[in-house]
């Protein structure tokens, strides 16, 4: 029993037909299209006829010496062109990367911009033959099924997955730009914070653990429960909080590992170093089981753990 025309027209269309269609539409000539595709003219003609049968309507008007797109053909061409270009681009990328060593990393945006990216040049100088891809996302990825090799995450020890490597913990501390400290009210003790805008994470109160990032937690821990600042500034991301502090917009409650470089350079000042607040959260390296044995992954993990040791030393962590 032969399938009906309706059934035929619901089947996926062969990519080969679309290649022939694009070539004929580009040249508006079967002979030129056949030369472009290294096929005989009759083979191209048969592919176009088969495509028209699949679509169910003529795509070209055949004239004596040329062809012309029908309105249906023009509509199809508008979709086929970008699809083929995108597919060809992907294949070119795959061919270029074939045989190259690479490391794909998943982490969140603030950690990538404030800690990882500033250090990457050192790794790339040591390993110029290894390509690096960073996917910045707050969404956890499945290292068993995705093409990501390792993940850098921020969570409590209880929530860290089995096999996760602890890079460093963190403390929270108030920081400000040097020129803000010189341009206004003195900031020498906790009570002086009332004269400044306080900058913090806007989502700090949404979950139990993220509440540790809030100024209210810090103020309560140091017995300043009733203190009210000049104003509040809230941002979604840690790098936004640090940027606001760098530009003198107020005093930020920041995560020590993420601002250690700015403190070392003098771009930010830790205003009350004796009043750091320990956080239950830590930073972790998780290596995908399918990637762990590759030499480039081992090289990157060795480099990463060495960088983490430098950060632990910079923030005074002895664990």
What are the pLDDT digits (tens) for 175-212?
999 989 887 788 889 999 999 999 998 876 666 667 78
305 with 202, same domain: the answer is yes
The yes-or-no verdict on residue 237 having pLDDT over 50 is yes
Q: CATH no. for residue 17?
A: 1.10.10.10
Residue 114 is given by DSSP the state: I
Enter the tokens of residue 192.
Answer: 């002086």
What is the secondary structure of 303-316 as a DSSP string?
HHHHHHHHHHHHTT
Write down the pLDDT at residue 2.
45
The yes-or-no verdict on residue 8 having pLDDT over 60 is no
What are the pLDDT digits (tens) for 92-148?
767 666 677 889 999 999 999 999 999 999 999 999 999 999 998 888 888 877 788
158 with 31, same domain: the answer is no
What are the pLDDT digits (tens) for 156-173?
999 999 899 999 999 999
85 with 169, same domain: the answer is no
Residue 104's beta-bridge partner residues?
Answer: 133
Handedness of CA 113, 114, 115, 117 (dihedral sign): positive
Bigger pLDDT: 17 vs 212: 17
Write down the pLDDT at residue 4.
46
State percent of the chain over pLDDT 70: 92
Write down the pLDDT at residue 206.
61
28 with 79, same domain: the answer is yes
Write down the pLDDT at residue 1.
37
Write down the pLDDT at residue 3.
45
How far apart are the C-alpha atoms of 176 and 153, rounded to whole Å? Answer: 27
What are the pLDDT digits (tens) for 49-74?
999 998 999 999 998 878 999 999 99
Write down the pLDDT at residue 160.
92
Residues 6+ apart with CB under 8 A from 161: 286
Q: Using an 8 Å Cβ cutoff, are 282 and 102 in contact?
A: no
Q: Using an 8 Å Cβ cutoff, are 248 and 182 in contact?
A: no
Write down the pLDDT at residue 6.
44
Write down the pLDDT at residue 245.
95
206 with 250, same domain: the answer is yes
Instruction: Give the count of alpha carbons within 13 A of 53, CB side only.
Output: 12
Q: Using an 8 Å Cβ cutoff, are 251 and 199 in contact?
A: yes
Residues 6+ apart with CB under 8 A from 167: 152, 282, 283, 284, 285, 304, 305, 308, 311
51 with 148, same domain: the answer is no
Bigger pLDDT: 291 vs 6: 291
Q: What is the helix (H) or strand (E) element at residue 83, kind and residue range? A: helix 71-97
Residues 6+ apart with CB under 8 A from 52: 58, 59, 60
State percent of the chain over pLDDT 90: 64
302 with 175, same domain: the answer is yes
Of 79, 97, 115, the residue that ends a domain is: 97
What is the secondary structure of 155-183 as a DSSP string?
E-GGGSPTTPEEEEEEEEEEEE-HHHHHH
Q: Beta strands 269-270 and 130-136: pairing type?
A: unpaired
Average pLDDT score, the chain: 88
Residues 6+ apart with CB under 8 A from 111: 152, 154, 238, 258, 283
Per-residue CA distances from 224 to 76, 214, 216, 219, 275 (Å): 68, 13, 9, 5, 12
88 with 211, same domain: the answer is no
**Percent helix, percent strand, percent coil in the chain, to nearest 5:** 50, 20, 30
Q: How confident is the model at residue 215 (pLDDT cuts 50, 70, 90)?
A: very high
109 with 230, same domain: the answer is yes
Mean pLDDT, range 202-231, rounded to an integer: 83
Spatial CA neighbour of 259 closest among 269, 248, 274: 269
Q: Domain count of the chain?
A: 2
Mean pLDDT, range 24-29, rounded to an integer: 92
Per-residue CA distances from 34 to 21, 31, 140, 142 (Å): 11, 5, 49, 46
Of 80, 97, 114, the residue that ends a domain is: 97
The yes-or-no verdict on residue 16 having pLDDT over 90 is no
Residue range(s) defining the domain that contains residue 202: 102-319
Write down the pLDDT at residue 236.
86
């Amino acid at each position: 029993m032969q399938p009906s025309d309706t059934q035929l027209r619901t089947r996926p269309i062969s990519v080969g037909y679309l290649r022939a269609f694009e070539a004929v539409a580009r040249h508006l000539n079967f002979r030129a299209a056949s030369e472009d595709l290294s096929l005989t003219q009759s083979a191209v003609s048969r592919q176009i006829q088969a495509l028209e049968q699949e679509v169910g309507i003529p795509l070209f008007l055949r004239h004596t010496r040329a062809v012309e797109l029908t309105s249906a053909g023009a509509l199809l061409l508008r979709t086929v062109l970008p699809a083929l270009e995108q597919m060809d681009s992907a294949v070119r990328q795959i061919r270029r990367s074939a045989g190259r060593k690479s490391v794909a990393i998943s982490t969140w945006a603030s950690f990538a911009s404030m800690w990882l990216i500033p250090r990457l040049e050192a790794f790339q100088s040591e390993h110029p033959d290894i390509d690096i891809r960073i996917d910045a996302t707050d969404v956890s990825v499945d290292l068993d099924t995705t093409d990501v090799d390792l993940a850098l995450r921020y969570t409590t020890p209880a929530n860290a997955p089995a096999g996760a490597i602890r890079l460093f913990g963190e403390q929270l501390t108030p920081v400000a730009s040097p020129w803000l400290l010189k341009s206004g009210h003195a900031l020498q003790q906790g009570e002086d914070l009332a004269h400044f805008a306080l900058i913090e994470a806007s989502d700090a109160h949404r979950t139990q653990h993220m509440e540790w990032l809030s100024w209210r937690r810090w103020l309560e821990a140091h017995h300043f429960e009733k203190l009210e600042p000049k104003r509040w500034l809230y941002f979604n991301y840690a790098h936004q909080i640090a940027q606001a502090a760098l530009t003198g917009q107020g005093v930020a409650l920041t995560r020590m590992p993420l601002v250690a470089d700015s403190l070392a350079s003098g771009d930010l000042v830790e205003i009350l170093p004796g009043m750091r607040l320990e956080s239950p959260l830590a930073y972790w390296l998780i290596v995908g089981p399918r990637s762990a044995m590759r030499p480039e992954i081992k090289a990157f993990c060795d480099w990463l753990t060495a960088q983490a040791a430098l950060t632990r030393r910079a923030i005074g962590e002895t664990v």
